[in-house]
Amino acid sequence: MHTRRIGDVEVSAIGLGAMPMSIEGRPDEARSLATLHAALDTGVTLIDTADAYHLGADEVGHNEILIAKALASHERGGEVLVATKGGHLRPGDGSWTRDGSPAHLKRACEASLRRLGVEAIGLYQFHRPDPRVPYAESVGALRELLDEGKIRMAGVSNADPEQIRQADEILGGRLVSVQNQFSPAFRSSEPELRLCDELGIAFLPWSPFGGISRAGELGSAHAAFARIAQAHGVSAHQVCLAWMLAKSPVVVPIPGASRPESVRDSVRAADLVLTAGEIAELDAA
SS3 category, 239: helix
Asked if 111 and 51 touch (Cβ cutoff 8 Å), the reply is yes
Q: Considering only CA atoms, which of 2, 4, 36 is closest in space to residue 262?
A: 36
Q: Where are the beta strands (DSSP E) in the chain?
A: 3-6, 9-12, 16-17, 46-48, 81-86, 88-89, 97-98, 123-126, 154-157, 175-181, 202-206
H/E stretch holding 171 reads none
124 is catalytic: no
Report how far residue 205's alpha carbon sits from residue 196's, in angstroms, rounded to the nearest whole number: 12
Q: Which residues contact 255 (CB under 8 A, 6 or more apart)?
A: 14, 15, 16, 17, 208, 209, 237, 241, 262, 266
Q: Which of 53, 182, 203, 225 is catalytic?
A: 53
CA distance between the termini of the chain: 28
Positions marked active-site: 53
